[in-house]
Structure 1
Amino acid sequence: MVLVRGPLLYRLTLWAVVTAAYSGNVTERCMQDTKAFLWELHQDSPSPYAALMYDAFGKIGSDVKGGNTNRPGSLQECLSVQGPSFSGQYCQVFLKQLNQVSETDDNHREDSEENSWVYSCLQAFSIQRSSQGVLSWTGTRASYSSLNGVRILSLLWIICGHTIQLSAWNNLDNDKRWKETVDRNPLYVFAFSGPVYLAVDTFLLLGGLLSAKSLLGSIQKSDDKLSICLVVSYLFKRFKRVQPLHLFIICLAIGFFSVVHRGTFWFIAEDEILNCKKYWWSNLLLVNNLLTITDICAPWTWYLSLDFQFYATTPLLVYLYRLNKGLLVAIAAVLLVLSSVTSAVLTAFLHLPVHQPTTLAYKSYFQYYYNKPYTRYGPYLIGILSGIFMTTKKNNLIRLQWQAALGWFTSLSVMAVLVGLAYVLREVPAQASAPHALYQGLHRPLWALTVAWIVLACEEGYGGFVDRLLSLSLWVPLSNISFACYLIHPILIIIYNGKQETPIHYTDINFFYLFIGHTALTLVVGYVLTVLVEKPYLFLKGKNTKYQN
């Protein structure tokens, strides 16, 4: 039998199902089965069930104008169909005034699309819908499961660091005793948080890895073409993903700090109000990291600007990868060396500390080094290269147990050395110091390489208990609200510190409870912001686009 597949049957079938779907009469399962059937019809060798279904269809005959509109098809064939997840059911559709179908089809589709877009806008602000999936314990198969654990552990480290820094900068009543006790001891994690800046480098690595993975996926869906339109769409999607909640937080900070009754240590909040009213535009354009640290509105948001600036370089590096892999390696090596050398030279000539200071005694550290793209690009670049490799690799990099053991030993050893040297080199020398400059130039890319190894080992089945820890289902819902948590937690800390009537007294247990309290409140408020602000905006879509979570 020769199977002839006409476009009219395809259009009528799809039009009927889509129309019914808009009216709420077709389930998602039915829609998927219909799409699968139509897809099979377009194959060179359709599945037997699809061919049988097509044969059972009532075909349009001749003399429709004379009234020949009822084509019943084959009842027995229809009932004998056994699809992948359904069985055939027989029904008849009486075709009336066929000449109007072609005339009204486009108008009906436009009306349906218009109604669907308005309905989706209203649905976007439904709390019931926006809260769905936020607390899900199941991650997406397309992502690397270990990243959730890495992301949340890094976020907790940052919250811990900000809890300590924002308190130690202004209102400790036993500041000298605190420094003598914890300043040089890496065991005081909650009382000082160690080199917390490494957690930011971890975020930069993850950002680069996921940006490359996302762009390569978009290229694959676009017939393997990297076009200007695709790059513009890629950047715009990132901009609209970040900015709604970011700008909401800026407005929230200005409004909340303005109406809350000031406390004894409210001067930080007052500075935030002035800076945000004057330099809000830098947050809107995602360039606030280029300003002086004392002029930044919501200083912790410098990371979003830095991340977007690095994100914009991903298309160029992916283009180089597709053009010539050797050229990509050469340019990436040059960029990595330039970033490291710049950091080392600035440290030597400006006498910068290698351990992030807990006071504003070293303003040049923040003004010229800490949040600038020319000193922080190394981890993001390594993330991009890791994302390209992990997305395009054909075989596993790790094939033998001894390779995995050597990799784990090396990565954990490098991590320990980097953390330890941060304490060894804590004192800022009066003259240019080669060890300080060398550490400043190398510690960020080295840390990024060790984290990249951990992710790779976990994904290739050599993670052991570390993979089981980082891939716990517990991290999935926390990861879903991590962006909101990062943006809101400094506001909560500033409010707590600013409302104190007396300076905070340092003890180990006090700082531990501060960290636990700030974290718990951050998770609650982060969930609320995710459901009420972040998710609704993501659900909003254009008339011809479909939201993908």
Structure 2
Amino acid sequence: MVWVILGHACIVAFKYSDNPELRKEVEKEFLFQTVTNGTYSVDTFFCIGGILVSFIYFRTNAKGSLDRLTQGTRGFTSGFLQFIGLLAYRFARLTAPYMFMLGVVQVSMKWFYHNSVYEPPTDDHINCPNYWWRNALYINTLFPVEQMCMLWSWYLADDSQFYVLGAIILILAASHFKTAAGAMVVFLFSSWMTTGYIAWSNNHAPSSDDPLALFDKIYDKPWTRLGPYLIGMATGWFLFKIDCRMKMSKVTVVTGWMLSSGVLLGLIYGLYNTELGPISSAVYSSLSHTVWAIAISWIVIACSTGYGGYVNSLLSATILYPFSRVTYCAYLVHPLVIRFLVMHTDHPIHLGKDMMAIIFLGQMVSSYLLSFVVSLTFEAPIVTMLKILAPNKRKKIQ
């Protein structure tokens, strides 16, 4: 989440600076690849989302908890009830804070449009009143980006669409595992081929193009971002099958960590001062996000089976728990915090490395402080209600 905030902070700051040529200079620096390739942070979210959905579904189904939801029905009816239950849970879980922030974005951007010396970075003051229902249905990425309200909500739309597809595959896997596995493979290859073709037909060069250059064709479209989610689902099933227990030799563990670290670092920094041809660019665009997810999956598997070492200690640190609980609200809130900073000023920002660091740290702290408030007000009550209504909870109460 910190990586996401860093990337968005830099994008907006460059847009409203009085020395935009600075971006051309810092982009030549090796470490700036950390910002340029911050798009992989979203693939981490997709991968983790797929892992959790798959693992929790199989574990819940194995315990028989879903039987109470379907009330003894079988076949198509049972699967349909499960599907409706999964969708209803997700919609209730996500929508309240999301719709609140969408309203805040609409009102604030309309105010800034009439009172700020700058034009808003996007047309939320126009799009939100007209197209808010697309956000509410989580289908806004299926329409042109020029009509999108709350631009950063593309992630929620894609993740929700993946959830719908994943729910169908998981329900199918409960009774027809091979068919479900085959469907996953087909979807994965289809995503690769589609992404590669779009990148090739648009002459997309990952090493030199702005990572958001093809936002409306590659970046935000579900059919180009599906790979990491499917890898996550496969990982979740694997962890369920082994019950998070697995014996690995020291050689296997060391090799796994070296390959995972090398892949992650290679994807972030490997294209520095490198030019790819049309075919290699298309292949890289289609496979890189999936490869990233595979490396992330190794970290999850290693940490879950007792081979995480210091990495597991860091990721499981108690101090991170409250921050992890408000990650969703931090994602919703932080772009608005960034916009408030720049659009409240009456002159451009003169950027430098020190100034950018101060801006980023201030926006990160402010975003998390506000996310706690939004979470306590809109998210936590819904989560508590869902826990009360859950089948396991009802059984204990009865």
Q: TM-score, normalised by structure 2?
A: 0.89
Does residue 236 of structure 2 align to residue 391 of structure 1?
no
The alpha-carbon distance between structure 1 residues 437 and 421, as it changes in their structure 2 partners (threshold 3 A), is farther
> In structure 1, what is the Cα distance between the partners aligned to 2:389 and 2:5?
40
Does 257-266 or 524-533 show the bigger shift?
257-266
Does residue 142 of structure 2 align to residue 290 of structure 1?
yes
1:183 to 12, 17, 27: 27
Does residue 105 of structure 2 align to residue 268 of structure 1?
no
> In structure 2, what is the Cα distance between the partners aligned to 1:167 and 1:352?
25
- Cα displacement string for residues 355-380 of structure 1 (whole angstroms, at most 9, x for unaligned residues): 696597x3xx1111111111000000
> In structure 2, what is the Cα distance between the partners aligned to 1:301 and 1:422?
28
If asked which structure has higher relative contact order (CA below 8 Å, sep 6+), I would say 2
- The equivalent of 1:334 in structure 2 is 186
> In structure 2, what is the Cα distance between the partners aligned to 1:479 and 1:543?
22
> In structure 2, what is the Cα distance between the partners aligned to 1:452 and 1:359?
24
The alpha-carbon distance between structure 1 residues 490 and 405, as it changes in their structure 2 partners (threshold 3 A), is same
- The equivalent of 1:39 in structure 2 is none
Does residue 363 of structure 2 align to residue 521 of structure 1?
no
Q: Note the C-alpha offset of 1:322.
A: 3.1
Q: Note the C-alpha offset of 1:422.
A: 4.1
> In structure 2, what is the Cα distance between the partners aligned to 1:158 and 1:532?
24
2:98 to 232, 246, 269: 246
1:199 to 23, 37, 41: 41
The alpha-carbon distance between structure 1 residues 230 and 321, as it changes in their structure 2 partners (threshold 3 A), is closer
Secondary structure, counterpart of 1:312 in structure 2: helix
Does residue 230 of structure 2 align to residue 381 of structure 1?
yes
Alignment check: 8 A CA contact 1:265 1:499 kept: no
Alignment check: 8 A CA contact 2:2 2:364 kept: yes
Alignment check: 8 A CA contact 2:79 2:171 kept: no
- Give 1:97-108 correspondences, 5 Å limit: none
Q: Note the C-alpha offset of 1:258.
A: 3.3
- The equivalent of 1:56 in structure 2 is none
- Cα displacement string for residues 422-462 of structure 1 (whole angstroms, at most 9, x for unaligned residues): 4345x6x8xx7112111101100000000000011011111
- The equivalent of 1:458 in structure 2 is 303
- The equivalent of 1:308 in structure 2 is 160
- The equivalent of 1:346 in structure 2 is 198
Secondary structure, counterpart of 1:423 in structure 2: coil
AA matched with 2:39? Y
> In structure 2, what is the Cα distance between the partners aligned to 1:375 and 1:215?
25
Q: Note the C-alpha offset of 1:541.
A: 6.3
Q: Note the C-alpha offset of 1:495.
A: 1.4
Alignment check: 8 A CA contact 1:208 1:384 kept: yes
Q: Note the C-alpha offset of 1:347.
A: 0.7
Q: Note the C-alpha offset of 1:546.
A: 7.3
- The equivalent of 1:232 in structure 2 is 84
Alignment check: 8 A CA contact 1:264 1:498 kept: yes
The alpha-carbon distance between structure 1 residues 468 and 289, as it changes in their structure 2 partners (threshold 3 A), is same
Alignment check: 8 A CA contact 1:206 1:383 kept: yes
- Give 1:101-500 correspondences, 5 Å limit: 155-168=1-14, 170-180=15-25, 182-188=26-32, 193-219=35-61, 220=63, 221-223=65-67, 227-259=79-111, 262-268=115-121, 271-354=123-206, 362=213, 365-394=214-243, 396-425=245-274, 433-500=278-345
Alignment check: 8 A CA contact 1:538 1:547 kept: no
Aligned length: 382
> In structure 1, what is the Cα distance between the partners aligned to 2:8 and 2:315?
23
Secondary structure, counterpart of 1:222 in structure 2: helix
Q: Note the C-alpha offset of 1:421.
A: 3.3
- Cα displacement string for residues 23-76 of structure 1 (whole angstroms, at most 9, x for unaligned residues): xxxxxxxxxxxxxxxxxxxxxxxxxxxxxxxxxxxxxxxxxxxxxxxxxxxxxx
- Give 1:49-64 correspondences, 5 Å limit: none
Consecutive unaligned residues in structure 2, runs of 5 or more: 69-73, 394-398
> In structure 2, what is the Cα distance between the partners aligned to 1:223 and 1:532?
33
> In structure 2, what is the Cα distance between the partners aligned to 1:344 and 1:197?
17
Alignment check: 8 A CA contact 1:398 1:404 kept: no
Alignment check: 8 A CA contact 1:262 1:498 kept: no
AA matched with 2:190? L
Q: Note the C-alpha offset of 1:172.
A: 2.2
Secondary structure, counterpart of 2:16 in structure 1: coil
Q: Note the C-alpha offset of 1:522.
A: 0.4
- Cα displacement string for residues 213-269 of structure 1 (whole angstroms, at most 9, x for unaligned residues): 232244231349763212211111001111111111111112233345722224326
- Cα displacement string for residues 86-135 of structure 1 (whole angstroms, at most 9, x for unaligned residues): xxxxxxxxxxxxxxxxxxxxxxxxxxxxxxxxxxxxxxxxxxxxxxxxxx
> In structure 1, what is the Cα distance between the partners aligned to 2:225 and 2:337?
27
Alignment check: 8 A CA contact 1:186 1:194 kept: no
Does 281-290 or 535-544 show the bigger shift?
535-544
- The equivalent of 2:71 in structure 1 is none
The alpha-carbon distance between structure 1 residues 310 and 172, as it changes in their structure 2 partners (threshold 3 A), is same
The alpha-carbon distance between structure 1 residues 415 and 437, as it changes in their structure 2 partners (threshold 3 A), is same
The alpha-carbon distance between structure 1 residues 480 and 542, as it changes in their structure 2 partners (threshold 3 A), is closer
> In structure 2, what is the Cα distance between the partners aligned to 1:315 and 1:359?
30
The alpha-carbon distance between structure 1 residues 174 and 200, as it changes in their structure 2 partners (threshold 3 A), is same
> In structure 2, what is the Cα distance between the partners aligned to 1:439 and 1:359?
13
Alignment check: 8 A CA contact 2:207 2:273 kept: no
- The equivalent of 2:396 in structure 1 is none
AA matched with 1:335? F
The structure with more radius of gyration: 1
